[in-house]
Protein backbone atom coordinates (compact mmCIF):
# COMPACT_ATOMS: atom_id res chain seq x y z
CA UNK A 1 0.00 0.00 0.00
CA UNK A 2 1.43 3.38 -1.03
CA UNK A 3 2.03 5.85 1.74
CA UNK A 4 4.41 6.91 4.47
CA UNK A 5 6.36 4.57 6.70
CA UNK A 6 7.67 5.77 10.06
CA UNK A 7 10.05 3.95 12.41
CA UNK A 8 10.19 3.22 15.22
CA UNK A 9 6.54 3.01 16.25
CA UNK A 10 7.50 3.83 19.81
CA UNK A 11 10.68 4.39 21.76
CA UNK A 12 11.75 5.16 25.30
CA UNK A 13 14.91 7.23 25.40
CA UNK A 14 17.14 8.43 28.21
CA UNK A 15 17.66 12.18 28.43
CA UNK A 16 20.84 13.28 26.73
CA UNK A 17 20.82 10.45 24.21
CA UNK A 18 20.45 11.00 20.48
CA UNK A 19 17.70 9.51 18.36
CA UNK A 20 16.72 9.49 14.71
CA UNK A 21 13.12 8.99 13.64
CA UNK A 22 12.89 7.60 10.15
CA UNK A 23 10.34 8.56 7.52
CA UNK A 24 10.03 7.15 4.00
CA UNK A 25 7.35 7.85 1.39
CA UNK A 26 6.70 6.07 -1.89
CA UNK A 27 4.33 8.59 -3.48
CA UNK A 28 7.08 10.74 -5.05
CA UNK A 29 5.72 13.76 -3.20
CA UNK A 30 7.91 16.85 -3.32
CA UNK A 31 7.14 18.25 0.12
CA UNK A 32 7.65 16.52 3.47
CA UNK A 33 7.00 17.64 7.01
CA UNK A 34 7.61 16.69 10.62
CA UNK A 35 4.97 17.54 13.22
CA UNK A 36 4.68 16.89 16.91
CA UNK A 37 1.33 16.32 18.56
CA UNK A 38 0.83 16.98 22.26
CA UNK A 39 -2.33 16.66 24.32
CA UNK A 40 -4.43 19.80 24.21
CA UNK A 41 -2.37 21.40 21.46
CA UNK A 42 -2.69 21.46 17.72
CA UNK A 43 -0.13 19.81 15.49
CA UNK A 44 3.04 21.88 15.52
CA UNK A 45 5.44 21.96 12.60
CA UNK A 46 9.05 21.15 13.49
CA UNK A 47 10.81 21.17 10.10
CA UNK A 48 9.79 20.87 6.50
CA UNK A 49 11.29 20.26 3.08
CA UNK A 50 9.74 21.61 -0.11
CA UNK A 51 11.95 19.46 -2.33
CA UNK A 52 14.95 17.16 -2.12
CA UNK A 53 18.05 19.03 -1.02
CA UNK A 54 16.22 21.82 0.81
CA UNK A 55 14.89 22.10 4.36
CA UNK A 56 13.27 24.81 6.46
CA UNK A 57 12.40 25.52 10.07
CA UNK A 58 8.86 25.30 11.34
CA UNK A 59 7.23 26.61 14.48
CA UNK A 60 9.23 24.52 17.00
CA UNK A 61 12.61 23.59 15.44
CA UNK A 62 14.89 23.88 18.48
CA UNK A 63 16.54 20.61 19.47
CA UNK A 64 15.73 18.94 16.15
CA UNK A 65 17.48 18.62 12.81
CA UNK A 66 16.47 17.12 9.47
CA UNK A 67 18.01 16.23 6.13
CA UNK A 68 16.53 15.54 2.70
CA UNK A 69 19.11 13.70 0.64
CA UNK A 70 16.50 12.30 -1.76
CA UNK A 71 12.79 12.53 -2.52
CA UNK A 72 11.72 9.54 -0.44
CA UNK A 73 13.48 9.95 2.93
CA UNK A 74 13.17 12.65 5.57
CA UNK A 75 14.75 11.63 8.90
CA UNK A 76 14.33 13.69 12.07
CA UNK A 77 17.21 13.72 14.56
CA UNK A 78 17.19 14.68 18.21
CA UNK A 79 20.84 15.36 19.06
CA UNK A 80 20.43 15.36 22.85
CA UNK A 81 16.93 14.46 23.95
CA UNK A 82 15.15 16.29 26.78
CA UNK A 83 11.92 15.29 28.59
CA UNK A 84 9.98 18.13 26.88
CA UNK A 85 10.51 16.29 23.60
CA UNK A 86 8.23 13.51 24.83
CA UNK A 87 5.50 13.53 22.18
CA UNK A 88 3.96 11.77 19.23
CA UNK A 89 5.79 12.63 16.04
CA UNK A 90 4.08 12.54 12.66
CA UNK A 91 5.78 12.66 9.31
CA UNK A 92 3.67 13.92 6.41
CA UNK A 93 4.03 14.60 2.72
CA UNK A 94 2.22 16.48 -0.04
CA UNK A 95 2.64 16.80 -3.77
CA UNK A 96 2.84 20.60 -3.66
CA UNK A 97 3.92 23.40 -1.40
CA UNK A 98 0.78 25.56 -1.36
CA UNK A 99 -0.50 27.56 -4.27
CA UNK A 100 -4.04 27.39 -5.46
CA UNK A 101 -4.60 23.69 -4.92
CA UNK A 102 -5.65 21.88 -1.81
CA UNK A 103 -2.19 20.40 -1.24
CA UNK A 104 -3.55 17.68 1.01
CA UNK A 105 -1.21 16.14 3.57
CA UNK A 106 -0.73 12.39 3.86
CA UNK A 107 0.46 11.35 7.31
CA UNK A 108 2.49 8.44 8.56
CA UNK A 109 1.22 6.36 11.49
CA UNK A 110 3.34 8.27 13.99
CA UNK A 111 6.23 7.59 16.34
CA UNK A 112 5.58 7.80 20.07
CA UNK A 113 8.72 9.00 21.87
CA UNK A 114 9.17 9.10 25.63
CA UNK A 115 12.23 10.86 27.04
CA UNK A 116 13.03 10.03 30.65
CA UNK B 1 -1.07 35.84 17.17
CA UNK B 2 -2.72 33.16 15.13
CA UNK B 3 -5.46 31.11 16.71
CA UNK B 4 -7.79 28.27 15.84
CA UNK B 5 -10.62 27.51 18.28
CA UNK B 6 -12.76 24.40 18.35
CA UNK B 7 -14.60 22.63 21.18
CA UNK B 8 -12.52 20.12 23.12
CA UNK B 9 -15.14 17.38 23.21
CA UNK B 10 -18.65 16.67 21.93
CA UNK B 11 -21.04 13.76 22.44
CA UNK B 12 -23.72 12.64 19.99
CA UNK B 13 -26.03 9.69 19.43
CA UNK B 14 -25.70 7.09 16.70
CA UNK B 15 -27.89 8.01 13.74
CA UNK B 16 -28.08 11.68 14.70
CA UNK B 17 -26.46 14.81 13.23
CA UNK B 18 -23.61 16.76 14.81
CA UNK B 19 -21.99 20.08 13.91
CA UNK B 20 -18.40 20.79 14.94
CA UNK B 21 -17.48 24.47 14.84
CA UNK B 22 -14.13 26.07 14.15
CA UNK B 23 -13.28 29.76 14.43
CA UNK B 24 -9.98 31.18 13.32
CA UNK B 25 -7.84 34.29 13.48
CA UNK B 26 -4.88 34.01 11.14
CA UNK B 27 -2.50 36.16 9.14
CA UNK B 28 -4.23 35.80 5.82
CA UNK B 29 -6.27 32.89 4.51
CA UNK B 30 -5.52 30.37 1.81
CA UNK B 31 -7.89 27.57 2.62
CA UNK B 32 -9.36 25.62 5.53
CA UNK B 33 -9.04 21.89 6.08
CA UNK B 34 -10.77 19.27 8.19
CA UNK B 35 -8.97 16.07 9.10
CA UNK B 36 -10.22 13.04 11.01
CA UNK B 37 -7.98 11.27 13.51
CA UNK B 38 -8.94 8.02 15.20
CA UNK B 39 -7.26 7.36 18.54
CA UNK B 40 -3.68 6.21 18.07
CA UNK B 41 -3.78 6.71 14.32
CA UNK B 42 -2.70 9.27 11.74
CA UNK B 43 -4.89 12.20 10.70
CA UNK B 44 -6.67 11.64 7.37
CA UNK B 45 -8.05 14.32 5.05
CA UNK B 46 -11.80 14.99 5.07
CA UNK B 47 -12.47 18.31 3.35
CA UNK B 48 -11.06 21.54 1.97
CA UNK B 49 -12.82 24.93 1.70
CA UNK B 50 -11.32 27.99 0.08
CA UNK B 51 -14.50 29.81 -1.00
CA UNK B 52 -17.53 30.65 1.11
CA UNK B 53 -20.29 28.09 1.19
CA UNK B 54 -21.01 24.46 1.75
CA UNK B 55 -19.02 21.53 0.39
CA UNK B 56 -20.84 18.21 0.59
CA UNK B 57 -19.15 14.83 0.49
CA UNK B 58 -21.43 11.96 1.36
CA UNK B 59 -22.41 12.05 5.04
CA UNK B 60 -19.91 14.84 5.72
CA UNK B 61 -20.29 18.52 4.79
CA UNK B 62 -18.06 21.48 5.52
CA UNK B 63 -19.06 25.13 5.56
CA UNK B 64 -16.91 28.26 5.37
CA UNK B 65 -17.53 31.95 6.02
CA UNK B 66 -14.34 33.90 5.46
CA UNK B 67 -15.84 37.20 6.63
CA UNK B 68 -16.73 35.63 10.00
CA UNK B 69 -13.58 33.51 10.31
CA UNK B 70 -15.81 30.51 10.82
CA UNK B 71 -16.23 26.98 9.58
CA UNK B 72 -18.19 23.95 10.63
CA UNK B 73 -18.09 20.26 9.87
CA UNK B 74 -21.48 18.58 9.69
CA UNK B 75 -21.71 14.84 10.16
CA UNK B 76 -25.03 13.15 9.31
CA UNK B 77 -26.36 9.68 10.09
CA UNK B 78 -23.68 9.19 12.70
CA UNK B 79 -22.06 5.79 12.97
CA UNK B 80 -19.98 4.37 15.81
CA UNK B 81 -16.93 4.48 13.54
CA UNK B 82 -17.24 8.29 13.44
CA UNK B 83 -15.93 8.38 17.01
CA UNK B 84 -12.65 10.24 16.48
CA UNK B 85 -10.99 13.61 16.83
CA UNK B 86 -11.69 16.19 14.15
CA UNK B 87 -8.92 18.66 13.41
CA UNK B 88 -9.47 22.07 11.85
CA UNK B 89 -6.50 23.70 10.09
CA UNK B 90 -6.11 27.01 8.25
CA UNK B 91 -3.44 27.82 5.67
CA UNK B 92 -2.18 31.34 6.27
CA UNK B 93 -0.71 33.96 3.96
CA UNK B 94 2.68 32.18 4.08
CA UNK B 95 0.99 28.90 3.08
CA UNK B 96 1.76 27.47 6.51
CA UNK B 97 -0.89 25.32 8.19
CA UNK B 98 -2.16 26.47 11.59
CA UNK B 99 -3.88 23.63 13.47
CA UNK B 100 -6.59 23.62 16.08
CA UNK B 101 -6.25 21.28 19.06
CA UNK B 102 -9.03 19.06 17.73
CA UNK B 103 -12.53 18.11 18.83
CA UNK B 104 -12.99 14.65 20.30
CA UNK B 105 -16.34 13.30 19.15
CA UNK B 106 -17.91 10.53 21.22
CA UNK B 107 -20.76 8.58 19.64
CA UNK B 108 -23.16 6.78 21.97
CA UNK B 109 -25.52 3.97 20.91
Whether the CB-CB separation of A47 and A66 falls below 8 Å is answered with yes
Residue positions counted in chain A: 116
- Torsion angle in degrees (nearest 10) through CA of B21, B105, A86, B95: -30
B interface residues, A as partner, C-beta within 8 Å: 4, 8, 30-31, 33, 35, 40-45, 48, 50, 87, 89, 91, 95-102
Whether the CB-CB separation of A82 and A15 falls below 8 Å is answered with yes
Count CB neighbours of A33 within 10 A.
24
Count CB neighbours of A56 within 10 A.
12
**Closest residue of chain B to A41, computed from CA coordinates:** B101
- Chain-chain contact of B33 with A104 (C-beta, under 8 angstroms): yes
- Torsion angle in degrees (nearest 10) through CA of B38, B64, A57, A7: 20
What's the pLDDT tens digit per position in B69-91? 999 999 999 999 999 999 999 99
pLDDT bin (cut points 50, 70, 90) of residue B39 is very high
What's the pLDDT tens digit per position in A34-45? 999 999 898 999
Chain A positions touching B43 (Cβ under 8 A) are 43, 90, 105, 107
- Identify the CA nearest to A91 among candidates A71, A77, A72, A111: A111
Query: What local confidence, expressed as pLDDT, does residue A98 receive?
Result: 60
Amino acid sequence: TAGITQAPTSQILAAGRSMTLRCTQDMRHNAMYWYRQDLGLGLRLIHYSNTAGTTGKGEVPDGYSVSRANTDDFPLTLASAVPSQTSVYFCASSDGTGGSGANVLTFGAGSRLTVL
Amino acid sequence: GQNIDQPTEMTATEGAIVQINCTYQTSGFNGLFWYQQHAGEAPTFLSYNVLDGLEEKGRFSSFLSRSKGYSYLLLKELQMKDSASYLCAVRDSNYQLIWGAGTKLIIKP
